[in-house]
Chain A
Amino acid sequence: MDAIAAASARLERAADLPAIIGAACDAFEYMLPALHEQQDPDGGAFTTFVMSAVVAVRGRNALLHAPSLPSAVSGRAAEGAIGRVTALEAATTMAALGHLLDARLTAAATLARTPGDRSACLDGARQARRLATLLAAAAGP
């Protein structure tokens, strides 16, 4: 979850629209390997993590369409260090990141000056919200 933690920190630090979009895009991307790790049929939340990966990809792709996406982000996705964590820990951590993505992208949409940026941020926020709901349910009460 080191990569997830790093993505969360970067997202919190992001000050302007391009930085938020870039950090959010990378955050969705970094969640994918972590979700793959948890797609264990014997793990009990297999279906949830499979569906969550679909939502994370939608969020990433939505932000890739943003005109203000920094060109540097278009490079290779960094390989995050994914430690051994339980399904519950993974769901909790990524649900929190989902909530953070929702908040920051919703705020970023108000900063957007072009329709492309606005729709990308809102679409990304919607996917983040859905992701957070799925993973929060997986984390249980």
Chain B
Amino acid sequence: MTGRATFGELAAAASTHLARAVSLTDPVAPGRAPAVRAMHASEIRRGMSRMVTVLSRYVSDITASYLPESRWQIDVLAAWSRAAVDARRALAQTAALLAPDREQALAAGSSLRRSASPIGFELDSAIRCMTAGRDLLHTHLSAEPDGTRGYRSEWAPVIVSTPVTGALLVEGAQWAQMIASRGHQAAQAMVRRERDDSGAEESFLAQRRLILASESLLKVHWAARRADERQPVSAADMRLLHAIPANLLPARRSPGPREPTADLCRGMSNCAERTRYAARVAAAQASWSPYLTADSLSQTAASATAISHHCSIVLRTLSARALGFGSRSVSAQLSQSAIAAERAREAWLAAARMWELVTTETRGFTSPAAAETADLALWTGRLAFADSTWSLAHGPARPWRAPESLSPRFRDLPAVVAATHQACDALVQLAASDHEQIWQAVRAGRLYSPTRTLPEKTDIPHPFGPTPRSRVNLLLDTYRSAHQASAQTTAAVAAVAEAVRAPSTILAAARAATRATSAGLPMDRIVVGSVGAEESRATVELAESPGHFERILAELGETDQTMLKRAAAIDRACEQLMIQSARVTALRRGLVSDSLAARPNLMPEAIAVPTASREYEAEI
């Protein structure tokens, strides 16, 4: 689907090499020169030792955040967590048993030489593939200064999810079983050899170590098997693990004129991935990024409106085509998806119109996310409309692409569904990211409204004033609606993808796995796309912007909504106290009459926004 190397390709290559290593004739069979047999036996043990090292690293990645010490701590772990702990111990035992062989190889410098025997060659090749597989997974993760793992891509939460962790342990256990099998074979050959060989005692010890190491390796297999019985790893989970690609963002490009439908679908999928990446980065950098501007957010919302519109057209066209193929159920599903896309279009249009009433103090910067979203609008438009040179500036009544052109044969339908699925999923991530950015802007007091759009009673002698609380809440609600509508569209299209076995089914599986509990690695603070996180923020009663104490708590990293609400209430009480005190003071000084002092707060919203007030004082 991505055109990049995947973990599955490397895992399959490792398994192939291991299978060959198991099936090859034992080079340590009798009749061979003793020196040759000794060398080959050493290569097998060295290969096993190196393989155990690689497997240990895989398991250590999973158990990095928890190392239970007591029995009861182990007992309370979930099935696959416990399997990982047991596997780690078994691998440590195996490594200890093979330590003399490793040290011997290091001393002789043979660890750096290529293996001479075919079995050694296959083992070396398997090790390289397994190492490359782990490196591939690590392209999605980073090491943070505080020692936690950071997410570098949308696949990172999938890698640390329980289903994929279980699948990874199953894969590792299969490798361990194959290596153990090879070790047993080598150990048996050593038994035959010692009858006619000198140095029998040394050989006997090596053989014993090899047998014990092989048995210890089998514990890894049995640990995974026990966990699989309690919490089975499905074929879908294995497919998801194998589908994880290397973390390489596709290159940015625009659609060319008269590009075939298949290329348009591929380009659209790549652009959707870039858009999701840009959205995630924008959310992560929201607190300081100069790209957090009304210009960026309004353009993004407008482009998202266009994308939803184009997706609805594509889905309706596909629905007609599916009916032409005689597939009524798929046609009905596509029709339902189109309706959902139209609702998403309306939600995004509402979000775009909110930026006519709200702006930010920073302007002129357009974010990478806005640029990528505009690209995606162009790609989706090229797929939806018949004009092969269609652009966003094209005018009225451009005909839709004909159903036969969109999907000439039934087997072409999955690719178009997959591309549309990718685009819809990108909108979900975009809505979550933009909501996060707006939230950060609210906390920083960065939202303003043109005075001409504020209520009549607002008396602000400047072109812009602080955005009223009601409008901020409306803005956030609008983005929540856009997120919800986009998520519903994506779910509907995912169901179609499942029905027609589109390659994008892996996307739905990845999202489902991400929602599963993380098995080992600590969850990063960024959870873009989490509706739960957005809803918890939605319930916080906003001041016009965070007050003094609420801001302090936020800067200290407080996320407990109850604490933040208490801080906000303290801020409001302080504001009321100051207002009351100001009135009383003014009365005492005879500056105002009783009637004026009794009026409701003048410019209540400005006073309720200490930060904005200070800014306006500076302006005067």
- A141 CB → nearest B CB, Å: 9
Are B394 and A137 closer than 8 Å at their CB atoms?
yes
Chain B residue at smallest Cβ distance from A39: B349
B395 within 8 A of A: yes
User: Is the C-beta of A113 less than 8 angstroms from some C-beta in chain B?
Assistant: no
Let me know if A61 and B302 touch, CB within 8 A.
no
The answer on a CB contact under 8 Å between A41 and B345 is yes
Complexed CA–CA distance, A18 and B196 (Å): 108
Residue of A50, A74, A134 near B452 (CB, 8 A) is A74
Cβ contacts A114-138/B at 8 Å (1 or 0 each): 0000000001000000000110011
Using CB atoms, name the residue of chain A closest to B364. A123
> Across the interface, do A138 and B393 meet the contact criterion of CB distance under 8 Å?
yes
The smallest beta-carbon distance between A73 and chain B, in angstroms, is: 8
B462 (CB) vs chain A CBs: closest residue = A74
Task: Please tell me if the beta carbons of A51 and B306 are within 8 angstroms of each other in the complex.
Answer: yes
Is there contact, CB below 8 Å, between A50 and B352? yes
Give the distance to chain B from A61, nearest Cβ to Cβ, in Å: 6
A53-B352 CB under 8 A given contacts A47-B306, A47-B381: yes
Do B395 and A45 touch (CB < 8 A)? yes
B602 interface residue, CB < 8 Å from A?
no
Nearest A residue to B374 by beta-carbon distance?
A51
Which of chain B's residues have a CB closer than 8 A to the CB of A14? none
In B446-469, the 8 Å CB interface with A consists of 450-453, 456, 461-464
Within 8 Å by CB of A41, from B342, B397, B398, lies B342
From residue B255, how far is it (CB to closest CB) to chain A in Å? 15
Q: From known contacts A41-B309, A88-B396, infer whether A65 and B463 are also in contact, taking CB-CB under 8 Å.
A: yes
Determine whether the beta carbon of B452 is less than 8 Å from that of A54: no
Chain A residue numbers with a CB within 8 Å of B345 are 41
- Tell whether B392 is near chain A: CB-to-CB under 8 Å: yes
- Cβ of B441 to closest chain A Cβ, rounded Å: 16
B356 and A53 within 8 A (CB): yes
Q: How far is the CB of B291 from chain A (nearest CB, A)?
A: 15
B452 adjacent to A137 (CB under 8 Å): no
User: Roughly how many angstroms separate A57 CA and B356 CA in the complex, as a whole number?
Assistant: 6
With known contacts A29-B452, A74-B463, A77-B452, A54–B342 Cβ distance under 8 A: no
- Distance in angstroms from B365 CB to nearest chain A CB is 12
Q: Which of B349-367 contact A (CB under 8 A)?
A: 349, 352-353, 355-356, 359, 363-364
Q: Is the CB of B452 within 8 A of A44?
A: no
Q: Please, how many angstroms separate the alpha-carbon atoms of A121 and B326 in the complex?
A: 59
Query: Beta-carbon contacts of A73-98 to B below 8 Å, as 1s and 0s?
Result: 11111000000000110010000000
Instruction: Tell me which of B355, B398, B456 contacts A76 (CB under 8 A).
Output: B456
Interface centre among A39, A46, A54 (most CB of B within 10 A): A54
Residues on B with beta carbons closer than 8 Å to the beta carbon of A45 = 394-397
* A47 lies within 8 A of B377 (CB): yes
How close is A28's CB to chain B, nearest CB, in angstroms? 10
With an 8 Å Cβ cutoff, the count of chain A residues facing the other chain is 39
CB distance from A138 to the nearest CB of B (A): 4
Q: How far is the CA of A29 from the CA of B397 in the complex (A)?
A: 27
How many angstroms between the C-alpha atoms of A57 and B360 in the bound complex? 13
Q: Which chain A residue shows the least CB distance to B305? A: A50
- Tell me the minimal C-beta distance from A41 to chain B in angstroms: 6
Which of chain A's residues has its CB closest to B451's CB? A74
Given contacts A29-B452, A60-B450, A77-B452, contact A51 B396 (CB under 8 A): no
Chain B residues lying within 8 Å of A61, measured Cβ to Cβ, are 294, 359, 363, 450
Hey, what's the 0/1 contact readout for A22-60 against B, CB within 8 Å counting as 1?
000000010010001001010111111011011001101
Chain A neighbourhood of B393, CB < 8 A? 48, 51, 133-134, 137-138
Question: Is B295 in contact with chain A by the CB < 8 A criterion?
Answer: yes
> At the interface, yes or no: A69 with Cβ under 8 Å from chain B?
yes
**Which residues does chain B contribute within 8 Å of A50, judged by CB atoms?**
302, 305-306, 349, 352
Say yes or no: A48 contacts B463, CB within 8 Å: no
Whether B299 sits at the interface, judged by CB under 8 Å, is: yes
Judged by a CB distance under 8 angstroms, whether A100 is at the interface is: no
- B contact residues around A75 at 8 Å (CB): 451-452
- Minimum distance in angstroms from A17 CB to a CB of chain B: 16
Residues from chain A with a CB closer than 8 A to the CB of B359 are 61
Residue B518 at the chain A interface, CB threshold 8 Å: no
B273 to A: closest C-beta gap in Å: 23
B298 at the interface (CB under 8 A from A): yes
Please give the distance in Å from B294's CB to the nearest CB on chain A: 8
Hey, which chain A residues are within 8 Å of B349, CB to CB?
A: 39, 50
* A74 CA / B355 CA spacing, docked (Å): 18
Determine if A112 is an interface residue (Cβ-Cβ < 8 Å). Answer: no
Q: Are the C-beta atoms of A48 and B299 separated by less than 8 Å?
A: no
Q: How far is the CA of A79 from the CA of B463 in the complex (A)?
A: 18
| A65 to B463 Cα, complex, angstroms | 7
Q: Identify 21 residue pairs between A and B in the complex whose beta-carbon atoms are under 8 Å apart, listed by A's number.
A: A29-B452, A39-B349, A41-B345, A43-B396, A44-B396, A44-B398, A46-B306, A47-B310, A48-B394, A50-B352, A54-B298, A54-B302, A57-B356, A58-B298, A64-B450, A74-B452, A75-B451, A76-B456, A87-B396, A134-B392, A137-B393
Chain A positions within 8 Å of B, measured between CB atoms, are 29, 32, 36, 39, 41, 43-48, 50-51, 53-54, 57-58, 60-62, 64-65, 69, 71, 73-77, 87-88, 91, 123, 133-134, 137-140
The 5 closest A-B pairs by CB, nearest first: A44-B396, A44-B397, A138-B395, A137-B393, A45-B396
Q: 20 more A-B contacts (CB under 8 A) besides A47-B306, A54-B302, A138-B394?
A: A41-B309, A45-B396, A45-B397, A47-B305, A47-B310, A47-B381, A48-B393, A50-B349, A51-B302, A54-B352, A57-B356, A60-B450, A61-B363, A64-B463, A74-B452, A74-B463, A76-B456, A123-B364, A134-B393, A140-B395
